Structure 1
Amino acid sequence: MDVAGVVDALIRGRQTKRGFLDRAVPLDTVREILSVARYAPSSSNTQPWRCHIVVGDARERLVDAAVDAYRADPGNLEPEYPFFPKPLHEPYSARFDTFRGQLGDAQGVPRNDKAGRRRDVERQFRFFDAPVGLIFTMDRRLERASFICYGCFLQNIMLAARARGLDTCPQQIWSLQYAVLREHLAIPDSELVVAGMSLGYADDSLPENRMQLRKLELEEFVSVVGA
């Protein structure tokens, strides 16, 4: 396979995984992935990313604290920045609802099963049992344009992980846990919690890890000018 074929296969083969095997990931491998990912483009080379690797006992203490915080007030945790407008408008609300329905079906958790949905959220705060948790922050004085740079960095991590036989789940939801993260990771108030990420070897026996999501066809989002 030529280089383009390899890169295309990595991009198409990357999928979000929501369940991981009890299999350790060497810290050197995580460092290697991040070392490659740092070559992501950023506006005027500002490189706004900061990453916290959470493993071992520190990971266990963090996930326990996050789950406790969620259980204490499941409806009122607020993120550091809005994920979607309220209300979410079309066509995005339809895509959101389709995905949530597909995920719920795979997990056996219908939308009206509040207890089941809360268990699913708790799994997110346990990094879906992945052995490595990553937490990403950036200087809160930066503007929203830095999120474009951050997206490139996160995609690099996910592709570099896939190239090494690992899988990931990017998780905006960790922004809801900024208070817990500040306490456990010594994140200063000057840093915005952008997201987290689960990293490990996916458990592909889980139906939610085998979902096939519809992606837009080119005609649905591309306009050609001048041809």
Structure 2
Amino acid sequence: MNANAKWEESKIDQPMIVDKVMSDRRAKRGFTDAPVSLDVVKDILRAARYAPSSSNTQPWKCYILTGESRKRITTKAVENFRAGPDKLAPEYPFFPQPLHDPFISRFNLFRGQLGDAVGVPRSDKYGRLKDVERQFRFFEAPVGIIFTMDRGLEWASFICYGCFLQNVMLAAKARGLDTCAQQVWSLQHAMLREELGFPETDMVVAGMSLGWADNSLAENNMDNHKLAIEEFVTFLE
């Protein structure tokens, strides 16, 4: 096969490969204890840094937690949560209060499915608190990531940050790894600022669990409903 033919063939295969990585990516909420090489983490971030950002401002900053640092942070996070979950406030609102339709319907459907998967109905307040604790352990993933951003930036920079987070998750999936992006880590901003040493001028955007998913868990096999394109796209000629 000549070079031109190979190029034409690769152009056919590449969209299918990219599409599969996107469709196979799922938030995983339980991981094995298999280690992840720091070199692989570096490769993921080298790929993710090509995310688009407004005028190339690149607002992202990451703290990679493994080993003892991960253990220290997760221990303190769980202690904070147990001491008073109502005392923890995020750096930015996750949803408007109250959340309105159709978004509240999608939210409740997902939360109901997740509760069924982990065996914790929404009426079980104690069980729900214990389930949140799992988030503050990075769902036992060997790598935790904390993402921060200069708080002097405007909300538009969250669009750029979302592109970067998606790149991290897709680059991880392309390497056989799984992730879970976690806004909940914004609740721990005071502790994280003290432990990780970043300034008051930086805000906690999110955390992320990274590792090898334990796909024997029901919560890692949920079939989340995705909208058909006709439900969110208007075609104009």
Aligned residues: 226
Deviations 1:170-207 (A, max 9, x none): 00000000011011111210001000000000000000
Partner of 1:194: 205
How high is the sequence identity, in percent, across the aligned residues?
64
Q: How does 1:68-147 map to 2 (within 5 A)?
A: 68-147=79-158
Partner of 2:5: none
State whether structure 2 residue 187 is matched by structure 1 residue 172: no
One-letter amino acid of the structure 2 residue matched with residue 98 of structure 1 = L
1:215 to 218, 223, 226: 226
Distance in 2 separating the partners of 1:68 and 1:6: 43
Distance in 1 separating the partners of 2:120 and 2:181: 21
2:56 to 45, 63, 67: 45
Partner of 2:69: 58
Provide the secondary structure at the position in 2 that maps to 1:150: helix
Distance in 1 separating the partners of 2:135 and 2:21: 24
Deviations 1:100-123 (A, max 9, x none): 000000000000101110111100
State whether structure 2 residue 179 is matched by structure 1 residue 181: no
Q: For residue 75 of structure 1, report the CA deviation from its aligned partner.
A: 2.0
Q: For residue 76 of structure 1, report the CA deviation from its aligned partner.
A: 2.6
Unaligned 5+ segments in structure 1 are none
Q: Write out the 4+ residue segments of structure 1 that deviate beyond 4 Å after TM superposition.
A: none
One-letter amino acid of the structure 1 residue matched with residue 21 of structure 2 = L
Q: For residue 223 of structure 1, report the CA deviation from its aligned partner.
A: 0.4
2:168 to 132, 138, 157: 157
Q: For residue 74 of structure 1, report the CA deviation from its aligned partner.
A: 1.4
Distance in 1 separating the partners of 2:225 and 2:63: 32
Distance in 2 separating the partners of 1:187 and 1:225: 47
1:15 to 2, 11, 26: 26
TM-score, normalised by the number of residues in structure 1: 0.98
Larger-Rg structure: 2
Deviations 1:2-35 (A, max 9, x none): 0000000000000000000010001111011001
Distance in 2 separating the partners of 1:177 and 1:53: 16
Distance in 2 separating the partners of 1:188 and 1:55: 22
Unaligned 5+ segments in structure 2 are 1-11
